Structures are given as structure tokens and as C-alpha cells.
Amino acid sequence: MLLGLIVLLACLVFGVRHGGIGLAVISGIGLVIFTFVFGYKPGTPPIGVMLTILAVVTCAGFLQTSGGLTVMLKYAEKFLRNNPKQVTILAPLTTWFLTVLCGTGHVVYTMFPIIYDIAIKQNIRPERPMAVASVASQMAICASPVSVAVVSIVGFMAAAGYEYTVLQILAVSIPATFTGVFCAALWSYRRGKDLDKDPRFQEFIKDPENKEYVYGDSETLQGKELPKSYYHAMYIFFLGILVIACLGNFPQLLPHFPNAKGVMKAISMTDVIQMVMLFVAAMILVFCKIKAKDVGNSQVFRSGIVALVSVYGVAWMADTYFANHMTILKQWLGAAVQAYPWAYAIFAFLTSKLVNSQAAAIAIVMPLALNVGMDPVLIMSFISACYGYFFLPTYPSDLACIGFDRSGTTRIGKYILNHSFMIPGLIGVFTGCCAGFVMAHIVL
């Protein structure tokens, strides 16, 4: 069992170095060792979860290709530019909301130059809104009805026999992550020295070229006329989300069919999400006149497919290991999480950092926790803990944030761990878990 755990961790650590798809294929090494060397019975890859992820990612790709995402970004920029003095609070709330709508934190890349431009023109230290905006965009992943993480949660809960609706899950994750983001933003309001009192910054802008670089204008969507088809795509996408929310909250509206015992039962919500997402993508294709072949080149689609493949490999390898030691794990971990529920939060946090993905972390820790008998209410309480990859500043959105901050205030410290995202991330996760604990016990 210990040797198998070493193989599992080694595959995760080595796979992360090669990115999401690299993590998936390196998991194949673990699978071969487990099956052919250790004699483990192969586990089962989460096919239902993977198909749902594929449908959601496809729909998101159509949304971006059709220009619907551009409309959302335009409105977000307008909102921030109309309230420039409060950019430290409003920027992270905006990036959180965009991720909730779109299901991916990658929308934040377009917002970074806008947030920087607003902050620097208001003489606000750019690190204050930018660092927490990066954290917020990732925390919101578990609060989006069309994210890979939430789709995975729905699938794993259903597979374990817990028929929670999408709205019930979101009723916990949305307030939890929002609270975390808001508390992190409040802390960031006065973080660091003001620009006029920062000797490092003042020394940097003494050079006229550096000053022009720091205060130069950024690109903007304001004043640009967007085609009507862009707006149509956004409306179609929103309508699809609304339909999923309604069907998930009112199962009596779903088609019912007899199960193996002849009892009439509603179709699974994972199937519903797949159908609706594919239907929405088809409506965008038909009414917004886009080329289907262009969808494969969109950033959202590519990132989503990487996440899908990553979940496939990691979940299959983890299931193979844990399923073959479930009797012992139920005795050890079952007692541990019942006596110390917060241990699950730490496990989820460390796993997330290890695999650099909330969806992949959920694919590892949630089935295990459900199998050892952990209360699903407690699992949902600590949903914010699935975001732990800010701990080391290696995630693409954090690195991009540093790059977009031309003032140099958002940075990695001398000791690596003292980077700009550490404290906002810790505050966001801790307060998010506290709020999630309260909401889960009220809603579920």
C-alpha cells in the first residue's frame, strides 16, 4: 500500500511538470505499474463526468468563438471604468463573476490590462486589485454551473447516490467563494505602500522610458461596435444556463423512465447538462453564423480539453489505487475525517497544489471521501479548499498577472513564498471554507 502511494505521488509530481496533458499520460505509467506489477484490478474512469465536461467545454468554445465572451468583457470593463476609485474591491468581484458565468478562469487574462490601466491612472498600487483579481478568478471555478469542477462534483455525488441538484451545490459554493473573495479584497485595500511612498517604484520611474512604459495607455473595448451576433450568442448561452438551473431545481419537469426495477425515475442531471450544452452550442452555431472549425482554436476550448484529459488520467489512476485499498482506507481515513473534518480541507488543498487543477483535485479527493463514508455536507463545506495552487506562484494566471503589471508591484518575493498572491489566497480559502460550512449545513 505504501509503495503504491509512492508511485501515485511520483506520477502526480512528475506529471505536473509537463502540464495538464502531460499529467494525464504520466498517469498511464502509474496505471501500468498498478495493474501489471502490483496486480491491482483496474479502476473505472469517470465516463459520465468526462462526457459532461466535454459538452460544457464545447459550448464554452462556441461562446468564445461567436464573440459572446467579448460582450461580457466589454460590460465588465465599462463597470470598472465607471467606478475607478473602488477598483481594488470591484475588480476581483468582477473577475469572480465572469468566471461564474463562463466556467473558466482564463477570462481574467483580458481583464488584467484593464484593471492595471484603471489602477495606475488612479495612482492606486496595481498589486492591490490585480493579485486578488487573479485569486478571485480561480476561486469562482467551483461556483460556476458550467465549470469542469462543478460538473465533476455533480457527477461524483450522483455516482455515490446523493442526488443533490445543481442549485443546491451552487447555493453553497457561490456564497462561500464570494465571501472568500470579498474578504481577500478588503484586506488588499491597503496592502503595500502607496505608489508615491514606494522608493522602489519611484526609483524605477525616474527613467523617462520606464515612466512612459508604466503609465502608457492599454487597449480597451470601450467605444468599439460589436456585431449583433455577439450579443445573440451571449443571450443564448445565458438562456442555456437558466434552463439547466430550472431543470436541476425542479426535477418533476424532467422526462421520467422506468429503471431496472420498473420504478419511474427522472433522467440524470449529468445527462441533462450534456444535452442542454450541446443544444446551446448548436443554437449559437446556427443563429450566430460562425465556423465550427474555428472552435477548436479558441483558448477556452483548448484549456477545457486539457482539463478533460487531465481528469481522465488522474481520476482513473487514483481510483485504481484507492479502490484496491478501500477496506483499510475506510478504517483509517473514515475515522480521521469523522473526528477531524478539517483534515479533508487540508487534503484537498494540498492535492490541488500537487496537480495544479481544481477539477483534477476533486477527481482524486471527492470519490475517496465519499467512499470512506464522509458526510457530503462536510465535503461541500470545504469546497473552497480545492483551490490551493496559488501557494506556489507557478499557475499561468498568476504569472500572467505579474507580466501585465508594468509597475512591478505584483511580484514574486525573494523567498518565493512571499509573493503577491499568498495572503489573498489564504484569506480567500479560509473564509470561503468558514462560509461554506455554514451554508452547507443550511442548504443540504
Q: Classify residue 259: in a domain, yes or no.
A: yes
pLDDT tens for 290-311 read 888 899 888 778 877 877 887 7
Q: C-alpha angle 300/314/390, rounded to 5°?
A: 60
Residue 334 is predicted with a pLDDT of 64
pLDDT tens per residue across span 12-55: 778 767 766 787 888 899 999 999 999 999 988 878 778 877 88
pLDDT, one tens digit per residue, over 225-256 is 899 999 999 999 989 888 887 887 777 888 98
Q: Is residue 22 part of a domain?
A: no
pTM listed for this prediction: 0.80
Whole domain around residue 297: which residue ranges? 46-443
Dump pLDDT digits (tens) for 150-178.
Answer: 888 888 888 888 878 888 899 999 999 99
With respect to residue 8, please indicate whether it lies within any of the assigned structural domains.
Answer: no
235 in a domain, yes or no? yes
Would you say residue 390 lies in a domain? yes
Domain count, the chain: 1
Q: Is residue 31 part of a domain?
A: no
Residue 410 forms part of a structural domain: yes
Q: Does residue 11 sit within a domain?
A: no
